[in-house]
Each structure stands twice: as structure tokens, then as C-alpha cells.
Amino acid sequence: MARYARLAFPEAPNDFRWYALHEDRADALDGAPWLSPATLGTRPLTGAIYGVPTTPSKIVCVGRNYAAHAKELGNEVPKEPLLFHKPVSSLLANGGTVILPRESERVEQEAELAFVVGHRIRRATREEARAAIFGYTVAFDITARDIQKKDVQFTRGKGFDTFCPVGPTLTAASAFAPDATTIRCWRNGELRQDGHTADMIFPVDVVLAYASQVMTFEPGDLILTGTPEGVGPLAAGDTLRLEVPGLDALTVEIGADREG
């Protein structure tokens, strides 16, 4: 299974570069994996720090893409994909801490399958969209539910710094079946979301084709595909874990807003 990550190592902990991953070692790449990069050398994975596994120009999300989740929040099941953005400033790597902003009384997790685009597309067909998906990962669409409801627009409620944990790795699209897999989220070891991507209203290629009618997608762009039912409130000190078989699991901590 071809897996990729942006890694740094203790001797230069902020210098994230692309690697192709193997069992206990990593091949350094001279560019993003969708650029067919050359291999520069290999090294042990010991001490590796996993960064966000893409550098997107934008993050596009789809809301209410599972009927049971739409209903749990009292919403109609949409007839077309409901698109919104999260800012790239909300990205957070595996092992990071989601900060609960002081402006919200209710922050919730949404466990989601995510994917990264491998080449530029605009007004793609469903087939072109499927072919443009480079790889899959998992992400949390962290949401300040009270602010989302109050604002109607999603920008503030879903846009806080740290509200888009993603990774730790990308699995090549050729090695993963996005339409037939479980998606599970644990909060402090307790199963909170237990969904299946077969229940998505709009499959991944439909979402990307639809969104590409509006905006050009660039290599590296990140798409979150919606959450199954079971969203719920978070508290400082919580640990969240997201598992999709065939993809590496994502774990984050929840922390209080301590800035002056």
C-alpha cells in the first residue's frame, strides 16, 4: 500500500518534507508525491514528526452528506451537495491540540473521510473527478455548533485555528476503496461515531465534480466528505481518535483557550 507523509525529524523539527513510507523507513522525495518525484535517499522512521499531509490552496467541505447526521441536527437531507470552506489556517497535524475558543459554549467533533487532489481540474465529469483524486486521509471537521447556528453562515463556527486536524498520512487512491469502509470516532476510548461511507448521499467523485463546476481545484487541495451521525460536545482534556480501515488513524487532544 503506497503511503505518503510530510515528515520532520528532531534535528530540524520544523523542516517538513515529503516522504514515501515503508514499514520502518521512509524514502525522501524531491517534491509532492503527485508530481512523480525522484527519491533522494532513505532513512529510518525513528523520531519522525508527522505534519499535515498536504499543503492545500483551499479546503472544501460538504455538509449533511449522511442522512442520519442531517436528521440528528434537525436538517433536511440535501438534494445537492452543501459546500463550505474551512480556512487553511485551521489545519492541525496528528497529535496536535484542538483549542476550544472562548467564543463558544459547544464545540463538537465531526469525523470525516478526506481526500487530496493530484492535478488541476475545472468543470470535471464524475470520471475526471475520480481520476484526479490522488490519495485519502482522515480529518475532523471541528465545529462550534452554537456559533454555526447563530451565524447561519459556517465561516466562523468551522473556521477557528486548529479546527481542521488531518492525517497523519495519505494512502494512494489506487490502494483504497472510499465507498465501502467504516468510519469510527472514539472520545476518551468510548465509541462515539460508527458510520459507513456507503451511507454517503453524494460519493467522493460526485462531490468533487460538483465543486469543480464552481472553482478550479489545484494539486494538494483538501476535501472533507461529511460526517456520519454521532457528533457531540468536547471538553478540555479529551482525546479523540478517528479510524478508517486502510488509512492511518488520527489522534488529537482537546485543550482550553489560554491565550491572553
C-alpha cell at 255: 485543550
Closer residue to Zn ion (CB): 21 or 225:
225
* Among the listed residues 90, 104, 193, 227, the single contact to Zn ion using CB under 5 A: 227
List CB contacts of 91: < 8 A, sequence separation 6 or more. Answer: 52, 56, 59, 164, 165, 166
State the residue number with the nearest CB to Zn ion: 141
93-152: contacts with Zn ion (CB under 5 A): 110, 141
Closer residue to Zn ion (CB): 73 or 131:
73
C-alpha cell at 47: 523520531
Shortest reach from residue 163's CB to Zn ion, in Å: 10
Size of site (CB under 5 A) for Zn ion = 3
d(CA 182, CA 127): 24
Q: Quick check: 111 and 148 in contact, CB under 8 A?
A: no
157-216: contacts with Zn ion (CB under 5 A): none
Shortest reach from residue 47's CB to Zn ion, in Å: 33
Shortest reach from residue 231's CB to Zn ion, in Å: 8
Closer residue to Zn ion (CB): 171 or 225:
225
Stretch that binds Zn ion, among 144-152, 190-198, 224-232, 235-243 (CB under 5 A): 224-232
Strand ranges in 168-256 using DSSP code E only, listed in sequence order: 170-172, 182-187, 190-196, 222-224, 239-243, 250-256
Q: Quick check: 167 and 204 in contact, CB under 8 A?
A: no
Shortest reach from residue 2's CB to Zn ion, in Å: 27
Shortest reach from residue 4's CB to Zn ion, in Å: 24
d(CA 52, CA 157): 21
Shortest reach from residue 140's CB to Zn ion, in Å: 9
d(CA 249, CA 243): 5
Contact between 248 and Zn ion by CB under 5 A: the answer reads: no
Nearest residue to 208 via CA among 137, 84, 87, 123: 123
Closer residue to Zn ion (CB): 170 or 231:
231
C-alpha cell at 209: 465534480
Chain contacts with Zn ion (rule: CB under 5 A): 110, 141, 227
